[in-house]
Amino acid sequence: MGKKVFLVDTTICNGCYSCHIGCKDEHVANDWTPIAKPMPEIDHFWFKLDEKVRGTVPKVKVAYTPRFCMHCDNPTCAQACPTEGAIYKRDDGLVIIDPIKCTGCRKCMEACPYDVIYFNRDLNIAQKCTGCAHLLDAGWKETRCSDNCPTLSIRIVDEDSEEAKNFIAESEFYKPEIADKMKPRVYYKGLPKKFIAGTVFDPAQDEVVIGGCVTLTAADGNVSKIKTDHFGDFWFENLPDGKFKLEIEADGKTKLFDNLDTAVADINLGDIPLT
Amino acid sequence: MSDAISNKALPGTAPPNAGADKTVVKAINLSGGIFGACPAHVDVKDGKVVRIRPLHYDSKYDFESFNPWEMERNGVKLRPLTKSVPPPWGLAYKKRTYSPNRVPYPMKRVDWDPNGERNTQNRGSSKFERISWDEATDIIASEIKRIHKEYGPLAILVQGDGHSESKLIHAPHGCSTLLLNKMGGFTQQVRNPDSWEGWYWGAKHVWGKGFIGNMAPAENLVNDMTENTDMIVLQGGDPETTPWGFRGQFASRLMFFWQKAGIEQVYICPDLNYSAAVHANKWIPILPNTDAAMQLAIIYTWVVEGTYDKEYVATHAVGMDKIEDYVLGKVDGVPKTPKWASEKCGVPSYTIKAMARHWAKVRTSTGHYFGGGFIRGPYATEPARLECIQLGMQGLGKPGQHHAQIAYMGMPKNITWDQLNYDIANSDPSTGFQEYSGTFETIKQKDPELYERIFNPHRGTPQAWGKQFIPKTLIEEAIKAGTDKHINFWGTGGHEEEPIDQMIKYQYPVKKGDLRFSGSEKKNLAHNDTDIDKIYERIDYDGVPIHMVWTDTPCRQTCWGDGFDIGMTIRSPQIEFVLAQHPWLENDCIYADIVLPANTTLEVDDVMPCVRDGEHFQTMLNMRQAVKPIGESKSDFECVVEIAKKLDMEKEVTIGRTVEQYVEGVYKGMNFDKITPWEEFQEKDYMVIPVSKNWKKLPAGLYEFYKDPVGHPLPTPTGKLEFCSTNLSKYFPNDEERPPYPQWIEKGITHDERLSSSRARTYPLLIITNHPRWRVHAQADDIPWTKEAMTGKIRGFDGYLYEPCWINPKDAEARGIKTGDIVKVFNERGIVLCGALVMERIMPGAVSVDHGARTDIIIPGKLDRGGAINLITPKGLTSRHAGGQATTSFLVDVQRASMEELDKWRREYPEAWNREYDRASGLKANAWVERGK
């Protein structure tokens, strides 16, 4: 059995929640012991779609970020579990909470830095994404979330496949700062960063400024330049959290924005009169 | 990324039915009618549904045998996936089958006595008791006989139209007509175009009939736009919402593909709709229903800067002089400048100019998929017609320049087009059905009895075919007319009517000598013929007022306008009997006197041709029963058969055939056995119709009209784009609400819903009521899992799941509203409670509540807790002579519901406030059953 990895491309996620629904459809009122006991009808999100509205009117984007068990190669949940074999890693890389052995102590929930384990009060067990191990064992090549996904934004594939290698080469981790420790098996593209955007116009002419030069300088001195487009718009995307300086220049007129802090939020500078 | 788009990386994957003992195929789209979509596999174990999953087309066939199409732009490719891409609620559909809101058994309203007091005034208030099927059908049969004897057959109104599950034999709507049509007829509720009012009542007068008002023909638009379009302007269109219920999520893949291929997408709408949220290069927020102002300013800019295609306009359009005069202010002294428009629509004048110049420069198409505030509000005819003019001024029909219902039409054709010898030559291109209606035509030729049996129930949506009819928008007015008055209206509102039909004054009740469209002459009809008497014939019977309502479409309150009034009007004693058949006890069901338990697609054997555009491939499905009927339910068709038995009419309804015989008759009747033998289809339960090798040969959209407007004229009186309409000039020269050429209508006798109104002092916000993301109109509001999405439902502090009301942080702050608060959305028509969702996806001054939530009426006519926003939409039509509904973009205010208010309602209406409620799925049928639970 090849080791599995999940590839999540958020740039083609439309936020339809069919992943979440596939997970519920598979697990609510269906008992897949020994892999999983039934999931409660609501309030469990073994497959959770985080939804974030970024920016302010009219520079707004919505970021959808699928979050589920990372099936870590260094699963702190398993290490925290006091019951021998209650949380184990399969040969295919999937991490499973044994629904029979679990005693409901919740130590795994505290130990998981990704917040993807849920407690089932009725059954007194911890539950989470199983990678649809029961389906893979039955011959499936998909999980329910990936099979339901209309855009192939979520894929489960063999780690040594071409698709995985190509994807991983350009990918990133959710919470990259702990990736080295946890060794997650879920790879992302397009995790939301920050943007600085605005529209430049000339109030005297009542016209947008097209081709205006916008220069963004990061605290480390890194400089990027773009020109305003046919709507007078500029968008600096995929910015890290940090302090920036932004300068607009057109027809000899300039405008300066100092001390822009993307750590707080995405920044819409609004409609900027260039005078 | 491009791998996922192009599907290069995907090997065929065909999941086995793990843990199941049976797998069946179902169409799980919710548009209903004779065409299905979204094929899915349903796994069943021990008589219960285990899961519903996309159909992998290649699970029983070789993928390459489908001759998959391919499109390319700038090195990015799009190919079909090997699987279907159903919408989320389709994939969760078992929750509808097992919903706690299912009607469990036949029920009678406790204080409705057909032999004594009918207590019609208590409809919607009094509860139900369980009765047997035998008792129910006895009462129904005797009521039908009594009504027929006392008033005549036309006294029964059939509400049997609209969207639903996709079932052919067990049609969710209109099966009652199979019975009543053979007993002397019925009065038909004609479903008006309820998502594209502007195209139907407006655009038809610019480019002719079109496809129900949209541009037609619309062949091969998807590939042509892929290759040639630079910018797509979406004025209210949301390809991430409205296509879902019809054809699933292919449109989503397409928009991502176009995005990655570098085709610019500009969204002009008050909300950052779901498509704009992930696809927009540019979002231009615009105040609800003020699009016409921005459009006029764009046209003004093109006129003063000379940046439109004057040559094209001279040869392809009439009436440009009138448009020029109007935008330059020569008619009313008001030039329609960007500054003028900006004050109306809230878009900065410099942005309007930038938009106008960019549009004039690059190859631009407009994108819609029905829906959107742009096309459904008061005076929707004007923005629709202005869009036609915008497109015309830049050369409509040139490569890359179209009006596109994103993938609704215009996908690569399959082989039924060029290899199965359908009578395409004689089909009507303006219907847009073309080869697909041809497939049904072949049943008609081979087996007319079967054709009538299969097709008639579904005719209620596109056609006005009843002997007497009432447009769906005017049912309440018809009831209020009583038994001694009549109502008038222009045009039946039937989807497939000619534009000239809108010039005819109809009335209810009908009378001898009234005009009726002569369907038999349809194929020979000259579209430019304005001589009504040549096209229409005169009827030779008199109608009668209605006294009974038979509905299988009980969603008027939440889908049509001024819903509170609907709930009050149906209490009229003139309506002696209301019969509802429906799977769920929701919305109008509670106004019925008898409710029959209908069932869902998972519970029946059926067959479904999924042969319309908009998916990766077209398919034919043998939809076998997945699970046994829930409770005492029967299919909509079987409900009618049970009644027919009591009237000695069973054979007339069933035509003496079994379901198996229907399935075989339809399959062979549509010539599908020429693609896949009947035996193989029975074994595999689905077949995929291969793509034609010749699909690229069909000219895109109006290309032929563009090349040769004389040889390929439009179906308008002049054969050209009528910027100023010949028909409207002739029949309604003085109509100030739909003038001969489109204008800005600030207010009129029908509507007063703008910020300039004195009403705006009390109701200062403009609300949009989009087609819902998490439902299809009224369908699927009981699925617990979609409610868990951020924009699904808002759980109030009281545990109730409220419909979200989007409000901008500025408007929320001014009102002390926070996300999660229970808020009142209200105007003089009533109060609807919602849950506040404070966010930047809605512009200041506008709020948004998706329509179609289930009603949960606390005070009849006044207060609703379910979030059914249509309860307080305007009463009036689109405009005086345009019979659409105006259910979006109207004045309201939003305020936090105070603890005192909530407490007062809870105390004064304890029974309504404390109705039995399921924490996960919401309302429960049990709440309305008094005896015999």
Return the number of other C-beta atoms located less than 10 Å from residue A265's C-beta: 13
Domain boundaries, chain B: 2-98+603-631, 107-191+456-508+538-598, 207-411+700-731, 758-931
Find out whether B661 and B182 touch, Cβ atoms under 8 Å.
no
Class (C level, CATH) for A194-273: mainly beta
Q: Is B750 left (phi over 0), alpha (psi -120 to 50) or beta?
A: alpha
Q: Give pLDDT, residue B932.
A: 63
Where in chain A is CATH 2.60.40.10? 194-273
Find out whether B349 and B339 touch, Cβ atoms under 8 Å.
yes
Confidence of residue B14 (pLDDT cuts 50, 70, 90): low
Q: Give pLDDT, residue B12.
A: 43
Q: What angle do CA B613, B616, B620 make, to 5 degrees?
A: 70
Q: Give pLDDT, residue B221.
A: 96
Angle between helices B381-393 and B291-305 (to 10 degrees): 30
Whether residue B3 and residue A163 make contact (CB cut-off 8 A), yes or no, is yes
Distance separating alpha carbons of residues B27 and A143, to the nearest angstrom? 22
CATH number for the domain running over B107-191+456-508+538-598: 3.40.50.740
Distance separating alpha carbons of residues A16 and A132, to the nearest angstrom? 20
pLDDT in tens, B17-54: 777 899 999 999 999 988 899 999 999 999 999 999 99
Whether residue B92 and residue A271 make contact (CB cut-off 8 A), yes or no, is no
3-class secondary-structure state, position A71: coil
User: Is the bond preceding residue B471 a cis peptide, omega within 30 degrees?
Assistant: no
The architecture in CATH of the region B207-411+700-731 reads 3-Layer(aba) Sandwich (3.40)
Which helix (H) or strand (E) segment is B783 a member of?
A: none
Residue scoring higher pLDDT (B450 or B1):
B450
The count of C-alpha atoms lying within 13 angstroms of the C-alpha of B394, restricted to the half-sphere facing its C-beta, is 27
pLDDT in tens, B186-207: 999 999 898 999 999 999 999 9
Candidate from A42, A141, A201 with C-beta closest to B920: A42
Q: Which residues of A touch B355 (CB under 8 A)?
A: 231
Mutation to test the B interface, candidates A148, A166, A201, most B Cβ within 10 Å? A148
**Average pLDDT over all residues of chain B:** 93
Strand bridging mode A87-89 / A95-97: antiparallel
Classify the C-alpha dihedral B70-B71-B75-B77 as positive or negative.
negative
Q: Which residues of B touch A58 (CB under 8 A)?
A: 283-285, 843
Confidence of residue A1 (pLDDT cuts 50, 70, 90): low
Q: Give pLDDT, residue B419.
A: 73
* In CATH, B758-931 is 3.40.50.1980: no
Q: Report which of B269, B261, B280 is spatially closest to residue B73, judged by C-alpha positions.
A: B261
Which helix (H) or strand (E) segment is B418 a member of?
A: none
Candidate from B10, B282, B840 with C-beta closest to A55: B840
The torsion angle over the Cα atoms of residues B344, B364, B374 and B90, rounded to 10 degrees, is: -150
Strand segments, DSSP code E, in chain A are 4-9, 47-56, 59-68, 87-89, 95-97, 118-120, 125-127, 154-158, 186-189, 194-202, 207-208, 213-218, 223-227, 233-239, 243-250, 253-261, 267-273
Whether residue A9 and residue B4 make contact (CB cut-off 8 A), yes or no, is yes
pLDDT at residue B438 above 60? no
Q: How many helices (H) and strands (E) does chain A have?
A: 7, 17
Residues 361-400 of chain B whose Cβ lies under 8 A from any Cβ of chain A:
361
Confidence of residue B440 (pLDDT cuts 50, 70, 90): confident
Which helix (H) or strand (E) segment is B24 a member of?
A: strand B22-27
Q: Give pLDDT, residue B425.
A: 45
pLDDT at residue B214 above 90? yes
Which helix (H) or strand (E) segment is B179 a member of?
A: helix B176-180
Find out whether A18 and A197 touch, Cβ atoms under 8 Å.
no
Distance separating alpha carbons of residues B457 and B29, to the nearest angstrom? 19
pLDDT at residue B423 above 60? no
Tokens of B454: 């299969």
Find out whether A65 and A10 touch, Cβ atoms under 8 Å.
yes
Q: Give pLDDT, residue B522.
A: 46
Q: Which residues of B touch A49 (CB under 8 A)?
A: 789
Say if A195 is an interface residue toward chain B (CB within 8 Å). no
Candidate from B4, B350, B842 with C-beta closest to A208: B350
Confidence of residue B734 (pLDDT cuts 50, 70, 90): very high
pLDDT in tens, A72-130: 999 999 999 999 999 999 999 999 999 999 999 999 999 999 999 999 999 999 999 99
To the nearest whole Å, the CA of A64 is away from the closest chain B CA by 9
Mutation to test the A interface, candidates B242, B282, B917, most A Cβ within 10 Å? B282
Q: Which residues of A touch B282 (CB under 8 A)?
A: 231, 233
pLDDT in tens, B316-347: 999 999 999 999 999 999 999 999 999 999 99
Residues 285-344 of chain B whose Cβ lies under 8 A from any Cβ of chain A:
285, 338-339
Mean pLDDT of B114-124: 97
Whether residue B87 and residue A18 make contact (CB cut-off 8 A), yes or no, is yes
3-class secondary-structure state, position B315: helix
Q: Give pLDDT, residue A80.
A: 98
Where in chain A is CATH 3.30.70.20? 4-189
pLDDT in tens, B249-293: 999 999 999 999 999 999 999 999 999 999 999 999 999 999 999
Distance separating alpha carbons of residues B350 and B929, to the nearest angstrom? 60
Distance separating alpha carbons of residues B284 and B262, to the nearest angstrom? 19
pLDDT at residue B520 above 50? no
Query: What percentage of residues in chain B have a pLDDT greater than 90?
Result: 87
Strand bridging mode B156-159 / B187-190: parallel
Q: Report which of B270, B835, B150, B199 is spatially closest to residue B547, judged by C-alpha positions.
A: B150
Whether residue B1 and residue A11 make contact (CB cut-off 8 A), yes or no, is yes
Q: Which residues of A touch B842 (CB under 8 A)?
A: 57
Distance separating alpha carbons of residues B933 and B928, to the nearest angstrom? 10
In this structure, what are the phi and psi dihedrals at residue A188, rounded to the nearest 5 degrees?
-115, 155
Say if A30 is an interface residue toward chain B (CB within 8 Å). yes
CA B37 from centre of chain: 15
pLDDT at residue B577 above 90? yes
Distance separating alpha carbons of residues B511 and B362, to the nearest angstrom? 54
Q: How far is CA A259 from CA A217, A223, A275, in A?
A: 10, 15, 21
Mutation to test the A interface, candidates B241, B254, B255, B788, most A Cβ within 10 Å? B788
Residues 779-838 of chain B whose Cβ lies under 8 A from any Cβ of chain A:
784-791, 808
Say if B354 is an interface residue toward chain A (CB within 8 Å). yes
3-class secondary-structure state, position B695: helix
To the nearest whole Å, the CA of A271 is away from the closest chain B CA by 9
Say if B268 is an interface residue toward chain A (CB within 8 Å). no
Find out whether B208 and B705 touch, Cβ atoms under 8 Å.
no
The size of chain A, in residues, is 275
Q: Give pLDDT, residue B418.
A: 77
Q: How far is CA B644 from CA A123, B555, B570, B594, in A?
A: 51, 25, 26, 16
CATH number for the domain running over B2-98+603-631: 2.20.25.340
3-class secondary-structure state, position B832: strand
pLDDT at residue B527 above 70? no
User: Is the bond preceding residue A34 a cis peptide, omega within 30 degrees?
Assistant: yes
Mutation to test the A interface, candidates B5, B52, B351, most A Cβ within 10 Å? B351
Whether residue A15 and residue B252 make contact (CB cut-off 8 A), yes or no, is no
Size of interface A-B (CB pairs under 8 A): 183
The amino acid at residue A154 is I
Tokens of B719: 């054969």
pLDDT at residue B528 above 80? no
To the nearest whole Å, the CA of B102 is away from the closest chain A CA by 18
End-to-end CA gap in chain A: 66
Confidence of residue B9 (pLDDT cuts 50, 70, 90): very low
Residues 67-126 of chain A whose Cβ lies under 8 A from any Cβ of chain B:
none
Distance separating alpha carbons of residues B91 and A19, to the nearest angstrom? 10
Say if A21 is an interface residue toward chain B (CB within 8 Å). yes
Q: Give pLDDT, residue A2.
A: 85
Distance separating alpha carbons of residues B878 and B377, to the nearest angstrom? 7
Classify the C-alpha dihedral B786-B788-B789-B792 as positive or negative.
positive
Q: Give pLDDT, residue B421.
A: 52
CATH number for the domain running over A4-189: 3.30.70.20
Mutation to test the A interface, candidates B790, B842, B843, most A Cβ within 10 Å? B790
pLDDT at residue B88 above 90? yes
CA-nearest residue to B13 within chain A is A141
Q: Which residues of B touch A47 (CB under 8 A)?
A: none
Candidate from B253, B354, B808 with C-beta closest to A57: B808
Residues 16-55 of chain B whose Cβ lies under 8 A from any Cβ of chain A:
16, 18-19, 50-54
Distance separating alpha carbons of residues B2 and A265, to the nearest angstrom? 30
Q: What angle do CA B351, B352, B355 make, to 5 degrees?
A: 85
pLDDT in tens, B374-416: 999 999 999 999 999 999 999 999 999 999 999 999 999 888 8
The torsion angle over the Cα atoms of residues B373, B245, A153 and B921, rounded to 10 degrees, is: 100
Distance separating alpha carbons of residues B622 and B664, to the nearest angstrom? 10
Q: How far is CA B910 from CA B707, B826, B831, B916, B925, in A?
A: 68, 22, 18, 12, 18
Whether residue A155 and residue B53 make contact (CB cut-off 8 A), yes or no, is no
The count of C-alpha atoms lying within 13 angstroms of the C-alpha of B33, restricted to the half-sphere facing its C-beta, is 20
Strand segments, DSSP code E, in B124-216 are 128-130, 156-159, 187-190
Q: Which residues of B touch A234 (CB under 8 A)?
A: none
pLDDT at residue A5 above 60? yes
Q: Which residues of B touch A13 (CB under 8 A)?
A: 278
Mean pLDDT of B617-642: 97
Distance separating alpha carbons of residues B45 and A97, to the nearest angstrom? 25
pLDDT in tens, A206-237: 999 999 999 999 999 999 999 999 999 999 99
Confidence of residue B601 (pLDDT cuts 50, 70, 90): very high
pLDDT at residue B126 above 80? yes
Query: What percentage of residues in chain B have a pLDDT greater than 70?
Result: 94
Say if B13 is an interface residue toward chain A (CB within 8 Å). yes
Mean pLDDT of B789-799: 98
The amino acid at residue B644 is A
Farthest CA pair distance, chain A: 75
Find out whether A104 and A117 touch, Cβ atoms under 8 Å.
no
Whether residue A12 and residue B5 make contact (CB cut-off 8 A), yes or no, is yes
3-class secondary-structure state, position B595: strand
Confidence of residue B373 (pLDDT cuts 50, 70, 90): confident
Strand bridging mode A223-227 / A213-218: antiparallel
Q: Which are the contacts of B738, defined by CB distance < 8 A and separation ≥ 6?
A: B201, B202, B379, B381, B382, B728, B732, B879, B880, B881, B882
Q: Which residues of B touch A134 (CB under 8 A)?
A: 18-19
Whether residue A21 and residue B15 make contact (CB cut-off 8 A), yes or no, is no
Q: Give pLDDT, residue B444.
A: 86
Query: What percentage of residues in chain A have a pLDDT greater than 90?
Result: 99
Candidate from B91, B282, B790 with C-beta closest to A18: B91
Residues 212-241 of chain B whose Cβ lies under 8 A from any Cβ of chain A:
240
Whether residue B1 and residue A147 make contact (CB cut-off 8 A), yes or no, is no
Angle between helices B349-361 and B291-305 (to 10 degrees): 60
Q: Give pLDDT, residue B371.
A: 77
pLDDT at residue B432 above 80? no
